[in-house]
């Protein structure tokens, strides 16, 4: 394993970057082999769409509204309800006053305290040259998995359960029920990181974590890996991977390589995220009607280095010298209130802060000429899916799950990671294509309709739930 500061992948083509050759060490404990039913193939090729009896599903997620992973989980639950399925949603942090959501944790104040105490276990590693803030330990879990939740479920769908919601040892309460784990990131099969950068420790047993600046094999990431290995031993887990990239990572991992892994993309509500008249959308948001709007945003868009804000600024330095820059304005959303927003010295800047209202967010996507997604490492980011659904082309680095979203030269552009000049060119290409007509915008919407319709994705999950219940 590499030691030192966290470094995101730098390869230009990273579709199968996580399926690198596995390294082994005689000092590393072997992961336990999961239970396997006789006659069941190791990795079925796909989800059968043959109708079958509808099972009752329970979704477990850390929140009902905070963050893209939790929003995607709730969207899936409600699409299953709309399709007539018996679906319940249990959130560790219940913030929405909705009858279809139940609380699976204490008060919000207590969950905050638990999350703080859980994160404090990485404090001894601060100042060692790593990035311990990118590790979420699994020391504590405030979630409540009582019989009132579990008895009525035939299958349990796990979503993002980190942040001290459910510790791996609590999952033992789910023994005897088939589980489908929808991967929002890599945390379920690492020792605690959500995205590993160039580290492949999760392919063995973690330890000596470069994000912690640790040289100790039995650091908290090794303990996190071992806790997961013990908890998963008796569980019937099927993995649902939103992107081909994270599916390859799971197949390379020591904890999930022997599990069934299916690729089912994240779904988007195409009736909400849809093309609109751009002038009307801009008027509704108070945005300039006669400028080319370059949109950038994500949760903690200017704070999280993985979101690529620094790389975007480098690209805008080059873009500012192009003729297209004369009519362009940068629009940023998702930035922390009060935090400085870079970019104003390069282009006119509009900072909108956090947007929680989905209708307003959908209008913003439709108002933009291009969405820039300079992420350095990501699964299948909602922001890019939502932009496509609104008919807005995407310029992005060719990393993680982005090739599943963007067909290069059709509905956007993909460029090598960290290549600022290429990203500037991609932005200019999309703006020029927009001046020539609406072909790229129509292609963006078409890709969303073909691949990311939440109704179609819910149908795939329904078929998968039926299969795992029938074979349990």
DSSP 402-423: HHHH--BTTTEEEE-TT-HHHH
Lowest mean pLDDT among 37-51, 118-132, 399-413: 37-51
Lowest mean pLDDT among 33-42, 90-99, 440-449: 33-42
The label of the residue with tokens 């994160």 reads: 119
pLDDT at 405: 98
Q: Which uninterrupted H or E stretch holds 371?
A: strand 370-373
DSSP string, 232-300: HTT-EEEEEESSHHHHHHHHHSTTTTTSEEEE-PPPB-TTTS----HHHHHHHHT--TTSEEEEEE-TT
Against a cut of 0.85, is the pTM above it? yes
Q: Does the pLDDT of residue 77 top 50, yes or no?
A: yes
* Contact indicator for 154, 167 with CB cutoff of 8 Å: no
Q: How far apart are CA 157 and CA 137, in angstroms?
A: 22
Angle ∠(310,316,333) on CA atoms, nearest 5: 65
- Specify the 3-state DSSP secondary structure of 183: coil
* Contact indicator for 383, 373 with CB cutoff of 8 Å: yes
Q: Does the pLDDT of residue 62 top 60, yes or no?
A: yes
pLDDT at 54: 87
Q: How far apart are CA 168 and CA 159, in angstroms?
A: 13
> Which whole-number Å values give the CA distances from 330 to 37, 106, 200, in the listed order?
55, 41, 36
- Average pLDDT score over residue span 118-127: 82
CATH fit for domain 278-451, picks 1.10.10.10, 3.40.50.300, 3.40.50.620, 3.40.50.2000:
3.40.50.2000
**CATH top-level class for 17-267+454-470?**
alpha beta
How far does the chain reach from its first CA to its final CA, in angstroms?
37
pLDDT at 23: 39
pLDDT at 9: 40
CA atoms 380, 386, 389, 392: torsion sign: negative
Q: Residues, the chain, total?
A: 472
pLDDT at 47: 54
* Contact indicator for 275, 366 with CB cutoff of 8 Å: yes
Q: How far apart are CA 213 and CA 190, in angstroms?
A: 16
- Compute the CA torsion angle 289, 294, 298, 301 (nearest 10 deg): -110
Average pLDDT, the chain: 88
Q: Does the pLDDT of residue 339 top 90, yes or no?
A: no
Q: Which of 464, 89, 466 is nearest to 265 (CA)?
A: 464
pLDDT at 129: 59
Computed on alpha carbons and rounded to an integer, the radius of gyration of the chain in Å comes to 22
- List the chain domain ranges: 17-267+454-470, 278-451
CA atoms 325, 331, 336, 337: torsion sign: positive
- Average pLDDT score over residue span 105-127: 89
Decide whether 17-267+454-470 matches 278-451 in CATH topology.
yes
pLDDT at 301: 64
Share above pLDDT 70 across residues of the chain, in percent, rounded to a whole number: 85
* Contact indicator for 340, 346 with CB cutoff of 8 Å: no
- Centroid of chain to Cα 97: 25
pLDDT at 472: 84
Q: Which of 343, 308, 245, 318 is nearest to 16 (CA)?
A: 245
Lowest mean pLDDT among 15-24, 49-58, 171-180, 198-207: 15-24
Q: Which uninterrupted H or E stretch holds 396?
A: strand 394-397
Q: Predicted confidence band at 298 (pLDDT cuts at 50, 70, 90)?
A: confident
Lowest mean pLDDT among 44-58, 112-126, 277-291, 411-425: 44-58
Lowest mean pLDDT among 11-15, 314-318, 448-452: 11-15
Q: Predicted confidence band at 426 (pLDDT cuts at 50, 70, 90)?
A: very high
In tens, the pLDDT along 400-424 reads: 999 999 999 999 999 999 999 999 9
- Average pLDDT score over residue span 109-130: 84
pLDDT at 29: 55
pLDDT at 114: 94
pLDDT at 285: 97
pLDDT at 434: 94
Q: Does the pLDDT of residue 443 top 70, yes or no?
A: yes
Q: How far apart are CA 186 and CA 151, in angstroms?
A: 29
pLDDT higher at 63 or 49: 63
pLDDT at 341: 75
* Contact indicator for 11, 207 with CB cutoff of 8 Å: no
pLDDT at 334: 86
Q: Predicted confidence band at 69 (pLDDT cuts at 50, 70, 90)?
A: very high
Edge-to-edge strand order for the sheet containing 412-415?
A: 349-353, 328-333, 292-297, 370-373, 394-397, 412-415
Lowest mean pLDDT among 135-144, 281-290, 388-397: 135-144
Q: Predicted confidence band at 336 (pLDDT cuts at 50, 70, 90)?
A: confident
pLDDT at 124: 80
């Amino acid at each position: 394993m590499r030691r030192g500061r966290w470094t995101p992948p730098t390869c230009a083509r990273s579709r199968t970057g996580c399926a690198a050759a596995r390294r082994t060490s005689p000092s590393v404990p072997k992961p336990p082999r999961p239970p396997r039913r006789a006659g069941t193939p190791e990795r079925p090729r796909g989800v059968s769409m043959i109708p079958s009896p509808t099972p009752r599903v329970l979704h477990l997620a850390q929140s009902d509204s905070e963050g893209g992973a939790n929003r995607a989980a709730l969207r899936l639950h409600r699409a299953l309800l709309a399709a007539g399925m018996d679906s319940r949603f249990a959130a560790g942090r219940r913030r929405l006053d909705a009858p279809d959501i139940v609380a699976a944790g204490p008060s919000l104040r207590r969950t905050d305290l638990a999350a703080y105490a859980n994160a404090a276990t990485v404090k001894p590693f601060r100042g060692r040259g790593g990035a311990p803030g990118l590790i979420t330990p699994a020391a504590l879990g405030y979630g409540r998995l009582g019989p009132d939740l579990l008895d009525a479920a035939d299958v349990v769908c796990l979503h993002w359960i980190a942040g001290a919601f459910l510790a791996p040892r609590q999952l033992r309460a789910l023994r005897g029920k088939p589980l489908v784990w929808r991967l929002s990131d890599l945390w379920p099969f690492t020792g605690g990181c959500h995205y590993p950068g160039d580290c492949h420790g999760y392919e063995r047993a973690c330890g000596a974590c470069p994000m912690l600046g640790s040289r100790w094999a039995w650091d908290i990431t090794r303990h996190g890996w071992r806790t997961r290995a013990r908890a998963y031993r008796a569980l019937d887990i099927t993995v649902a991977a939103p992107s081909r990239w994270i599916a390859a990572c799971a197949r390379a991992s020591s904890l999930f390589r022997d599990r069934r892994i299916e690729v089912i993309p994240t779904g988007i509500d195409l009736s909400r995220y849809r093309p609109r008249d751009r002038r009307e959308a801009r008027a509704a948001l108070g945005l300039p009607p006669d400028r080319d709007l370059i949109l950038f945003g994500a949760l903690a868009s200017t704070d999280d280095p993985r979101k690529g804000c620094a790389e975007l600024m480098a690209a805008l330095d080059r873009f500012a010298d192009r003729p297209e820059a004369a009519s362009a304005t940068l629009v940023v959303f998702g930035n922390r209130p009060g935090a400085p927003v870079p970019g104003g010295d390069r282009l006119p800047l509009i900072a909108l802060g956090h947007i929680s209202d989905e209708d307003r967010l959908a209008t913003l996507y439709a108002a933009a000429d291009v969405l820039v997604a300079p992420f350095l490492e990501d699964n299948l980011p909602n922001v890019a899916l939502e932009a496509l659904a609104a008919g807005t082309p995407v310029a992005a680095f060719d990393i993680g799950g982005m090739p599943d979203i963007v067909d290069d030269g059709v509905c956007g552009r993909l460029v090598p990671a960290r290549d600022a000049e290429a990203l500037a060119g991609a932005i200019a290409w999309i703006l020029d294509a927009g001046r020539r007509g609406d072909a790229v915008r129509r292609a963006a919407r078409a890709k969303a309709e073909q691949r990311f319709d939440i109704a179609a994705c819910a149908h795939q999950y329904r078929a998968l739930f039926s299969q795992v219940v029938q074979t349990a």
